[in-house]
Structure 1
Amino acid sequence: MLNTIPLNDRWTFTKENDPAYASVSIEQGLPVTLPHTWNDVDGQGGGEPYYRGACWYQRRLEISAEDMGKRFYLEIGAAGNMGKVYVNGHLVAESRCGYAMFRAPLHPYLKSGDNVIAVRVDNSYDNEVYPLMADFTFFGGLYREVKLLVMDDIHFDVMDNGRDGVYLTQRSTGDGVFELDVRGRVVNESSVTAPGSLQVQLRDREGAAVWEDKLDLTLSGESDFTIKGRISNPILWNGIEQPYLYTAVISIHVQGEVRDSRQIDIGFRTVELTSDRGVLLNGKPIKINGVCRHQDFGGVGNAITKEHMDLDMDLIREVGANSIRLAHYQHDDYFYSLCDRHGLLVWAEIPYISIPSTKDPESHNAFEQLERLIKQAYNHSSIYCWGVQNEITIAVETEHTYRTIQKLVKAARRLDPSRYVAQANINGVADDSVINTFTDLVGYNLYYGWYYGEIKDLGTRLDEFHRTRPDVPVLVSEYGVDTNPAYHSYTPQVQDYTEEYQLKFHHNALETFRERPFVLGGYVWNMFDFGSANRNEGGEKGKNLKGLVTIDRSLKKDAFYLCKAYWSSVPFVHLSGRRFVHRHKELNDIAIFSNMNRVRVYLNDVLLSEMDGGGPVYIVKDVSLLPGDNRIKAEGIEDQGTVLTDEMVLRFVSEADPSYIHVKEEKTKHVVNWFEQFDLTDAGQIELKDGCFSIYDTIEDLYGNDAAKAVFLKYFAHVTSNPFFEVTQGVMSIEKMSQLVFYGIPPELLPVINRELSAIKKES
């Protein structure tokens, strides 16, 4: 039988990258307990500069003489971003998938007595390992649990890049009948062939068997198996309303003895994506009220425990979400299990994000990560789609990019024909781009009113997409704005980082989705603030502040309660603006978020207003504040008599509180309007010349010619120290730079630059 032993304690860690540590003891290391990351502080904006490099973990493992005949495997939950495992100096396993579990067979290298287990973990930049570039911290470390698997010669396959060695597939055959397909592989590591059997039992929540079957096997080497059953009228896994799970028990029997077994939860459900009615869960339309989640947590980085994950799930359930996009990589298996248990539909994805590799044009690492994600998360009923790319066209959109995406889609469908394939596009991907025909579901990451355009443009863009692609199911895979809850304004503006602007932005998005049945819904970017080591924005270093909740999970921003009012069925009432305490205007609008039928609002115990309508937003206009403190109370009232209350204090002051205003760093006029030094009066048209350079060549190509490089630097020397620029030279062109807002390139400048480049011949 499989015996799983935690190996999270008694590790020694060092940042000193010495190859000798594969076998020689680390003498001056730091004792650590897993999960562990060396970027817990610098990866979220504190301490020293963000460290990326190779580090070592080491642990002793004592094996008794009588156990030497058993089979030992080391299971590493994840090593960010690359890991190598050594046993007594022998390299036994390697991972270049920084978010996936991997295993190492130890028994060929173990000896009786004391053994040295060493793991070299490296989060350095590697052009062949995804993600290459992204707006989040690439935490280094053994940041998930490590286990020792001890088993007999005969066991389920634990080395197929999957997790269980068993794969469950359910599908509806109509008339309330579901087919359950159980497949996998049994491995016999001994030289003796053994007659055995595979037994399957499906149990309901009370433990009663609803289906069972048996398959006789001759166990020699590797033995694949498949068993199919029919389940009539199962209780359906019906999302957050009824996340009912059965348990499948699959066991290997040899001579009346159980040699290995698995217990896997399985839910029976149908999911259909439509371009006019949205998502159909078990035949009924639902709107995706979703949030995105990164896995890091304030103060611990991504070295999170089950307790951290439980808290995240509690908050996601409280806000009323019915779906989660687990971005931008494979998450801890425990969190997928939480989603199964609580009924949240999951978009799971790989870190094929932002820019493709220039050293590996075939992107082999993306395919490896896709295989591990699908095989390891296959048995989670909550997952309804596999995401194969996120904004991969941010720097370049070419035929080669298209081919890679299509191959990833094909691979996903081969690995799992039972689920949909999705992608998340940057806004610059045209509605009629062929890329939108590759996947079953198209998501767009849309930030109208933050990075570009106006808030109202969100609805216009979605309408235009539906007119252009009426048969393509579409949703908004990201939307949000950076928000520091210390900042407030009566007149919220773009990039003022106030809670009030976040409310304005999200209110528009939620209404936009609700008014359009063809929009499947959206995923808030992000449920929680998260680490982004290179950021310095909104008064905080090292963090992306787009969360509904702060990175330490201690504060729910007002937008959290706005979403809750739209999504949750649990009665509540919330007064907005409680951190905007100092009010320098006498008349103030008071916003109340609630899903209750009726709301009463009091000022200093005097009834101001009573409103009906069931929310989600109630507003009392022009409330006159008295000098000093004013106590505001809201009561939410249900028809059956339930009354809930919320209170806050606002202070009427004579002058605006300067601490509520984000003071941005002054940029010189040269930086803001750097292009004014060039003559753009007679720009003309872009003309391409055969054999000559142009604005469509990559920066790397331009740098390969001294004259072309000089032209580039003439116009763009001021951006060359940007980390984004440094990692995108191999795929980014001047033309593509012009599509990115932060470069600030006026369209009329492009013909001017192109004219100079087209005078330079390429070497034949």
Structure 2
Amino acid sequence: MIPVRKLKSLLILLLATAGHITIAQQKTRLINNWEFVRQDLGGVWEAVRPVTPGNPESLPIWDKVNLPHCFNARDAVDPDVNYYQGPGWYRTTLNINNPYANGRTLLHFEGAGQKTDVYVYTTKVTSHLGGYDEWTADITKAVEDFKKTDVFNKQFKGKVPVEIRCDNSRDLESIPSQLSDFNVYGGIYRYLNLVYVPALSLDKIFASAEVDKAGVLGKLDIKARFYNPGNSQSAQGKIEITDPQGKVIASAPYNLNAINTDVKLAGFQVKKPKLWSPADPALYKVTVTVKSGDQTFTQTEKVGFRNFEFVDNGPFNLNGKRLLLRGTHRHEDNAGVAEAMTEDMMVKEMQLMKDMGVNFIRLGHYQQSRIILNLCDSLGILVWEEEPWCRGGLGGEVYKNQARAMLTNMIEQHYNHPAIILWGLGNENDWAGDFPEFDKAKIHAFMAEQNDRAHQLDPSRKTTIRRCDFCADVPDVYSPSIWAGWYRGIYTEYKKTTEEEFKKVKHFFHAEWGGDSHALRHSENPDNALSKVKTGTGTDERLGDASLVGGAARVSKDGDWSESYICNLFDWHLKEQETMPWLTGSAFWIFKDFSTPIRPDNPIPYMNQKGVVERDMTPKESYYVFQSYWTEKPMAHIYGHTWPIRWGEAGEYKMVKVYSNCDNAELFVNGKSMGIKKRNSQDFPAAGLHWQVTFNKGKNNIKVIAHKGKTTVTDEIDQEYQTDKWDKPAHMVFQKIAEVNGIITVQVKLVDSKGIQCLDAVNWVNFSLAGDGKLLDDLGTSSGSRKVQVYNGRAIISLKTNGGKSVVGVASPGLQSVFINL
């Protein structure tokens, strides 16, 4: 009997010999078997010349890496150095066997930073400028030529060497500006794909899905751009439309005699389409097949029918109903990998956002991975995506041409995503510094040009910018600078300021608000700094406000950076937004802490700490504040899961807050009921779910039981209560507190001369290690940084033992260093 697998192979062979076969399209992520060197080479020959293993003259030394990969996975948050900006080289060898006769072999880059050169052996194939758009290198001819050489079989044993040079060197004539508050990373930090296509294939499909306000009549127009290096003059094929349930609802053939430009293939009407929304992100599938000769190519896109409107001087409507946009922001950055996030990491991050109740996201400040856009489509998260014209002013024609190209690429490459409603033209373009000239009129003119370009490329969506008041008249939607309670003013000024800004433009949105919080740091008096801040002078951010020294009193400089404070700030904003029926929405800055070269003095050096999750996606307490306002699934969270010790006088009343979306909640302290409270969003803080209680000295158990309809949820924590007073830190106590699977966690405590923990200490500490182990540092997290400000008089870090012995030390200015033998 012939095995089934063999029968299938025989069937494929028979079909092939009959001359009509659709060879399975091939797209392979090139992840493994790469080598990398973080420096420049004398030339590409140094990457391919024969070398003798172990020969000390065989320099440089290459490291084995996997893709995606970022130059700056560690040094972006190394407290002792500036992050590397310069060239780096990658190399690999590939088995290339294109199954299509006269087909094309492509390297498809989903993003690489910031200038990239591609080589096959010593032949330069192409270059690309820009770190965030997708692009393709056609290596067909270079591969064919190389296969004809003796080197192909003798040195490379039938494989094809590919070398890629990435360069993130500083360049004033390139965007984004190096003045930007984020790292301009280097490397092949998004997926790289080896793709085989027939001689004629599709480059892009533009699927325009529209529906009237009543949601009754849907229109779907399909245009195509072909990839046709062989100059074929004709093509035929078919289009199929599949509904969200998987049923084919429409199809049409097409026959083309000219394919040199973008071609309309078909138009369809869809009666009463299932509408896309955050609550029900229904996606239709568009499948386009192109046949030329005996070869067939198929491409699939997903679209959604939705109608949106920024009401003149009013709110935002989706599918005819008001929707308050509940948003955040995202940078491509993660602990341990920097920008080289894997698909699994992206899925986890976006699901965390959805679980928090996000229905809108601004992708700042550049085109982001196609994976993120696909997730926004499927999760139901509306999108503002923007080109990376960020800060610095306006350069010359090279600069402007890059901006033109990157705006065009972003719109064309993400045209089909129903999640996108706004194209961002720029960010903080009122920020000078890269050029001797800062001409507002020229910036305005170029902004207007980009605005027109966006509308020409995509008339169905709106344009927007954030914080450039002299360009506020250009885009469809404008977002001014409002940072009430952080850079300027106090958070109770938020509503008044927002109303004033709302009246200045026809279509208003509030992007960027919030503040920094040092994860694991908590405060008994978090709002103390507000008394120092002058009110009534504005709540915008101005030059120098991000500095931790100088200037007027402001919470960003004079506050305690505690999770306690930022929860209050978020809580106030969210409760106010519920009473602003004219508000389109807002997006707080930012979902996740991220690295930045311009904040070396923050409690975690080189980290912007405004996220509600840490850089490794560990939620902070503030995550649950948003969840309590924005989600329907019953939840309850007692503030203080990462606050092991509270302090105060014996018998002093202390507030316990519960963030919950439930109708009511009952709090228990040490088994005794503190009463039932009803949720009321306007009863600040914690929507009325706050209790004044007294704690026992020492251990206390806190539990909440909350009810939403017939559903009951609970939460429980233990906290110590310290009544002992402390003096200034006198020495450090260092100890191992955990060991799991070869990972040891150590903790340092700062205590006074009597051994009492100094719970308000903010001293710097530096961890070090000698021996077989390795510190898990340079992660950009409160517990993953070797240099960090302590939180409530303590700090922790972990290390890999590697099965050996190590000595771990900790130092702090003015205190004696201490060590542990492990």
Query: Shorter-chain TM-score: which interval?
Result: 0.7 to 0.9
Matching residue of 2:220: 180
> Which whole-Å deviations, capped at 9, do the CAs of 1:29-60 have from their partners, x for residues lacking one?
11111000110011123564311101111122
- 2:340 maps to which of 266, 281, 303: 303
Alignment of 1:206 onto 2:269: no
Q: 1:455 aligns with which of 491, 498, 513?
A: 491
CA distance in structure 2 between the partners assigned to 1:479 and 1:181 by the alignment: 39
Instruction: Kindly report structure 1 stretches of 4+ aligned residues shifted beyond 6 Å.
Output: 65-68
Residue 12 of structure 1: which of 6, 25, 35 is its match? Answer: 35
Q: 1:116 aligns with which of 161, 175, 178?
A: 161
Whether contact under 8 Å (1:21, 1:56) holds in the other structure is no
Aligned to 1:37, the other structure's residue is in SS state coil
Aligned partner of 1:566 among 591, 610, 629: 629
Cα 1:455/1:308, change in 2 over 3 Å: same
* Aligned-residue offset at 1:445: 3.6
Root mean square deviation of aligned Cα: 2.3
Distance of 1:602 and 1:399 partners within structure 2: 63
The code of the aligned residue for 1:401 comes to I
Amino acid at match of 2:93: R
Question: 1:506 Cα deviation (Å)?
Answer: 1.3
Are the equivalent residues in 1 in contact too, given 2:79–2:600 (CA < 8 A)?
Answer: no
Residue 659 of structure 2 corresponds to 593
Query: What is the aligned partner in structure 2 of residue 234 from structure 1?
Result: 273
Q: Which residue of 1 aligns with 2:4?
A: none
1:46–1:604 CA distance, 2 compared to 1 (3 A): same
Q: Deviations for 1:376-412, whole angstroms, at most 9, x for unmatched residues?
A: 1111110111000111102256111111111111111
Q: In the alignment, is residue 658 of structure 1 matched against residue 696 of structure 2?
A: no
TM-score (normalizing by structure 2): 0.75
Q: Do the aligned partners of residues 511 and 444 (structure 1) sit closer, same or farther apart at CA in structure 2, a change above 3 Å counting?
A: farther
Q: Check whether the contact 1:251–1:258 (CA below 8 A) recurs between aligned residues.
A: no
* More displaced 10-residue stretch of structure 1: 456-465 or 369-378: 456-465
Deviations 1:300-334 (A, max 9, x none): 11111011001101210111111111111111101
Distance 1:221 1:244 in 2: 34
Give the direction of change, closer, same or farther, for the CA distance of 1:129–1:438 in structure 2 (3 Å limit).
Answer: same
Contact 1:63 1:114 in 2 (8 A): yes
- One of 166, 170, 176 as aligned partner of 1:131: 176
- CA gap of 1:390–1:331, structure 2 versus 1, over 3 A, is same
2:460 matched residue in structure 1: 418
Q: Tell me the secondary structure at the aligned position of residue 456 of structure 1.
A: helix
1:95 aligns with 2:95: no
Alpha-carbon offset, residue 19 of structure 1: 4.3
Query: Is the Cα–Cα contact under 8 Å of residues 488 and 661 in structure 1 kept in the other structure?
Result: no
Amino acid at match of 2:643: F
Partner Cα distance (2:723, 2:703) in 1: 20
What residue identity is the alignment partner of 1:216? N
Distance 1:510 1:22 in 2: 59
Q: What secondary structure sits across from 2:666 in the alignment?
A: strand
Partner Cα distance (1:321, 1:4) in 2: 33
Which position in structure 2 is the counterpart of 1:473?
Answer: 507
Deviation for aligned residue 1:114: 3.7
Describe the SS at the equivalent of 2:600: strand
Among residues 511, 520, 523, which one is paired with 1:486 in the alignment?
A: 520
Q: What amino acid does structure 1 have at the position aligned with 2:451?
A: V
Return the letter of the residue paired with 1:505: L
Alignment-derived partner of residue 476 in structure 2: 440
Q: Which letter maps to 2:663?
A: N
Give the Cα separation in 1 of the matches to 2:713 and 2:40.
Answer: 62
In the alignment, structure 1 residue 512 sits paired with structure 2 residue 576: yes
**Counterpart position of 2:549:** none
CA distance in 2 between counterparts of 1:223 and 1:532 reads 41
How far the C-alpha of 1:473 sits from its partner, in A, is: 1.6
- Between the aligned partners of 2:108 and 2:634, the Cα distance in structure 1 is 44
Q: What's the offset of the Cα at 1:488?
A: 2.1
Question: Offset at 1:5?
Answer: 2.2
Q: Are 2:348 and 1:284 aligned?
A: no
2:595 aligns with one of 531, 543, 546: 531
* Deviates most, 390-399 or 118-127: 390-399
SS of aligned partner of 1:237: coil
The whole-number CA distance in structure 2 between the counterparts of 1:419 and 1:300 is 34
The one-letter code of the counterpart of 1:108 is: K
Contact 2:667 2:676 in 1 (8 A): yes
Residue 389 of structure 2 contacts residue 403 of structure 2 at CA under 8 Å; is this kept in 1?
yes
Letter in 2 for 1:391: E
Q: Tell whether the 8 Å contact from 1:44 to 1:298 is kept in structure 2 after alignment.
A: no
Question: What letter matches 1:151 in structure 2?
Answer: V
Q: In structure 2, what is the equivalent of residue 550 of structure 1?
A: 614
Q: Report deviation, 1:456.
A: 2.8
Task: Name the residue aligned to 1:105.
Answer: 138
Provide, for residues 675-733 of structure 1, a one-character-per-residue CA deviation record: whole Å limited to 9, x for no partner. xxxxxxxxxxxxxxxxxxxxxxxxxxxxxxxxxxxxxxxxxxxxxxxxxxxxxxxxxxx
Q: Which amino acid aligns with 1:154?
A: L
Deviation at 1:362, TM superposition (A): 6.2
Paired residue for 1:312? 349
Q: How many residue pairs get matched?
A: 646
Cα distance in 2 between the residues matched to 1:79 and 1:391: 24
* TM-fit CA distance, 1:499: 0.8
CA displacement at 1:65 relative to structure 2: 9.3
Q: Select 2:700's aligned residue among 625, 630, 634.
A: 630
Matched ranges for 1:149-228 at <5 A: 149-157=195-203, 165-173=204-212, 176-190=216-230, 193-194=233-234, 196-218=235-257, 224-228=263-267
- In structure 2, the CA distance between the partners of 1:186 and 1:536, relative to structure 1 (3 Å rule), is closer
SS at 2:480 equivalent = strand
Structure 2 SS opposite 1:536:
coil
C-alpha contact (below 8 Å) 1:22/1:86 kept by paired residues: no
The CA distance in 1 between the partners of 2:79 and 2:94, in whole Å, is 35
Report 1:704-719 matches (<5 A). none
> 2:139 matched to 1:73?
no
Distance in 2 (CA, whole Å) between partners of 1:139 and 1:192 is: 40
| CA–CA distance in structure 2, aligned partners of residues 597 and 624 of structure 1 | 25
Question: By how many angstroms is 1:7 displaced?
Answer: 1.9
Query: Gapped runs of 5+ residues in structure 2?
Result: 1-22, 50-57, 148-157, 433-437, 530-554, 727-756, 766-822
- For structure 1, list consecutive stretches of 5 or more residues without a partner in the other structure: 158-164, 666-764
CA distance 1:206–1:622, shift in 2 (3 Å)? closer
Q: In structure 2, do the counterparts of structure 1 residues 331 and 361 end up closer, same or farther at CA, with 3 Å as the change threshold?
A: closer
CA displacement, residues 420-447 of structure 1 (integer Å, 9 cap, x when unaligned): 1011116xx3xxx4x2221111112422
Tell me, yes or no, if the aligned pair for 1:5 and 1:149 is still in contact at 8 Å: yes
- SS at structure 2 position matched to 1:541: coil
Query: Which amino acid counterpart does residue 314 of structure 1 have in structure 2?
Result: Q
Flag the 1:626–1:173 CA change in 2: closer, same or farther, 3 A: closer
Give the aligned partner of residue 419 of structure 2. 382
Cα deviation, residue 529, structure 1? 0.4
Which amino acid in 1 is paired with 2:237?
L
Q: Equivalent pairs: percent with the same residue?
A: 24
1:518-577 alpha-carbon deviations (Å, 9 max, x no partner)? 2211111110001113423442112110000011112x2221111111101111001113
Deviations 1:577-626 (A, max 9, x none): 33333222232011111001110000101101101236562343431111
